[in-house]
Amino acid sequence: METAISTESLNFFYNGTQILKDINLNILKGRFVSVVGPSGCGKSTLLLLLARMLSPASGSITVESDNVGLIFQEYNRVLLPWRTVLDNAALYLELLGAGKSERYETIKNYLALVGLNGFEKLYPHQLSGGMKQRVQIARVLSTQPQILLLDEPFGSLDSQTKESMQDELLNIFYKEKGLTALFVTHDIEEATFLSDEVVILGRRPSVVVGKLDVGIPHPRDAETRFSDRFQQIKHEIWKSLRSIGVN
Interval 199-231: pLDDT, tens: 999 999 999 999 999 999 989 998 999 999 999
33/204: higher pLDDT? 33
User: For a pLDDT cut of 90, what percent of the chain falls above it?
Assistant: 85
**244 pLDDT more than 90:** no
* pLDDT > 70: percent of the chain: 99
> CA–CA separation, 174 vs 124, rounded Å?
28
**pLDDT for res 110:** 94
Q: For the chain, how long is the longest CA-to-CA vector?
A: 55
Residue 10: what pLDDT?
A: 97
Of 144, 140, 142, which Cα lies nearest the Cα of 153? 140
Per-residue confidence (pLDDT) for residue 1, from 0 to 100:
77
C-alpha 20/C-alpha 112 separation (Å) is 39
Residue among 163, 179, 164 nearest 32 (CA)? 179
- Distances in Å between the Cα of 17 and the Cα atoms of 14, 61, 201, 230, 244 are 5, 20, 17, 36, 19
For 89-147, what is each residue's pLDDT tens digit?
Answer: 999 999 999 999 999 999 999 999 999 999 999 999 999 999 999 999 999 999 999 99
Domain boundaries, the chain: 9-67+145-247, 75-144
The distance from CA 196 to its chain's CA centroid, rounded to whole angstroms, is 13
Residues pairing with 18 in the sheet: 13
| Gap between the terminal Cα atoms of the chain | 36
Sequence-separated (6 or more) residues with CB below 8 Å from residue 239: none
Q: Distance (Å, rounded) from C-alpha 51 to C-alpha 239?
A: 30
Rounded CA-CA distance 218/205 in Å is 35
Burial 177-195 (b: 16+ CB within 10 A, else e): eebbbbbbbbbbbbbbbbb
Which residues of the chain form beta strands (DSSP E)? 3-14, 17-28, 32-36, 58-63, 68-71, 147-151, 180-184, 197-201, 208-213
pLDDT band (50, 70, 90) for residue 47: very high
Architecture of domain 9-67+145-247: 3-Layer(aba) Sandwich (3.40)
Cβ–Cβ < 8 Å for 170, 225:
no
Residue 175's pLDDT is 83
The three-state secondary structure class of 176 is coil
Mean pLDDT along residues 83-89? 98
Of the candidates 88, 170, 176, 174, the one whose C-alpha atom is nearest the C-alpha of residue 132 is 88
Q: In what order do the strands lie in the sheet with 180-184?
A: 68-71, 147-151, 180-184, 32-36, 197-201, 208-213
pLDDT per residue over 174-206, tens digit each? 887 789 999 999 999 999 999 999 999 999 999
